[in-house]
Amino acid sequence: MTPKNITTLLEASWAASDSLLCVGLDPEPARFPGRYSGDSGSVFEFCRDIVDATHDLVCAFKPQIAYFAAVGAEGALERLIAHIRAVAPHVPLILDAKRGDIGPTAVQYAREAFDRYGADAVTVNPYLGYDTVEPFVERGSVFVLCRTSNPGSGDLQSLDVGGEPLYRRVARDLAQRFGQSGRVGLVVGATYPAELAVVREAVGTMPLLVPGIGAQGGDAASLAPALTPSGGVVVNSSRAVLYASDGADFADASRRVALETRDTLRAVRAA
């Protein structure tokens, strides 16, 4: 099978959806609304309802595998992905797994992401070195962690390496090594807008996966420097969309938040 080219897939998706929004699927049974409240047996059903309510508003879906693995719900993840492919066949699917290991083990993680789950792209961690990214890029597409959205992300990522911060070095190295492939993007948090601009400057038009909007407090306007003519950014919102309401109206409430977020992002793009 030809490895999926995430740049091509996203360009089609940004155009078709006119949306930069990615809905992150992070199912936490303790936060489930309405009739699913607290039920770890309803992981598939809850996520399915969110997908059904939002799939015409997004440029991508991003299941976070940790939430499935914590409750032994790999089967629910497989069913969910089959459902997404059925109702939204042109929406790229990014498996958020932040994998990273030495070569032979990276091959196994690539099989997990691309063969087992059929993801278009998977998130990976660059700390082990670029040879450990290769097995993923040979089999599919990746978003490599660059500048993450959490408070402590600077502990390593902001250290000065020869006159630039480590995250910028990672961005430049990846652009040089994989920029032409169309199969590599970067993860840069919306909570660090200045860094988002630095990364865009360093990597040309490579796609950026941008978490941190919504519950994490990132501001949509700060995305402006990261945009490209075709789109350029996949802006993830998970909790703000998923848990928009505790009640039986949760799917409608999720759609409302997704719509507002999509429109906010559209306005940034139009400005």
Task: In angstroms, give the least distance from the CB of 129 to a second copy.
Answer: 3
Q: Is 163 in the site for a second copy (CB under 8 A)?
A: no
Site for a second copy in 56-95 (CB under 8 A): 64, 66-67, 69-72, 74
Q: Give the residue, chosen from 5, 45, 130, 197, that forms a contact with a second copy under the rule CB under 8 A.
A: 130
Q: Phi/psi of residue 108, each to 5°?
A: -65, -40
Please report, to the nearest 10 degrees, the dihedral formed by the alpha carbons of residues 177, 183, 184, 189 taken in order: 170
Q: Is 111 in the site for a second copy (CB under 8 A)?
A: yes
Under the binding rule (CB under 8 A), the answer on residue 139 touching a second copy is: no
Percent helix, percent strand, percent coil in the chain, to nearest 5: 55, 20, 30
Our finding on whether 173 is near a second copy (CB under 8 A) is yes
As a whole number of angstroms, the distance between CA 185 and CA 143 comes to: 4
- Regarding 166 and contact with a second copy (CB under 8 A), the answer is yes
Rule CB under 8 A: choose which of 3, 34, 118, 154 binds a second copy.
154
Is 261 one of the binding residues for a second copy (CB under 8 A)? Answer: no
Q: Can you tell me which of 35, 85, 90, 116 binds a second copy, judged by CB under 8 A?
A: 116
Kindly state the DSSP code that residue 2 receives in the 8-state scheme. P
- Does 148 engage in binding with a second copy (CB under 8 A)? yes
| C-beta neighbour count of 127 within 10 angstroms | 10
Is-contact 200 208, C-beta < 8 A? Answer: yes
CA distance 46 to 64: 14
Does 7 interact with a second copy (rule: CB under 8 A)?
no
Active site residue 62: no
Is 103 a residue that touches a second copy (CB under 8 A)? yes
Q: Which of 41, 127, 180, 267: binder of a second copy (CB under 8 A)?
A: 127
**73-76 LR contacts (CB < 8 Å, sep 24+):** 73/27, 73/40, 73/43, 73/44, 75/44, 76/27, 76/43, 76/44, 76/47
Q: Is 194 in the site for a second copy (CB under 8 A)?
A: no
Query: Is residue 217 near a second copy by the rule CB under 8 A?
Result: no
CB-nearer residue toward a second copy: 16 or 70: 70
Q: Cα–Cα distance between 254 and 249 in angstroms, integer?
A: 9
C-beta separation of 233 from 187 below 8 A: no
SS3 category, 219: coil
Q: Which backbone phi and psi does 67 adopt, to 5 degrees? A: -70, -30
Measure the CA–CA gap between 238 and 157, rounded to whole angstroms. Answer: 24
Q: Is 249 in the site for a second copy (CB under 8 A)?
A: no
Number of residues that bind a second copy (CB under 8 A): 53
Record the tokens describing residue 250, joined without a space.
């949760």
Q: How far is the CB of 101 from a second copy (least distance, A)?
A: 5
The answer to the question of residue 145 lying near a second copy (CB under 8 A) is: yes
> Which among 31, 79, 83, 98 is annotated as catalytic?
98
Contacts to a second copy by CB under 8 A: 26, 28, 64, 66-67, 69-72, 74, 98-106, 108-109, 111-112, 115-116, 125-132, 145, 148-157, 159-162, 166, 169-170, 173, 211
Residues known to be catalytic = 98
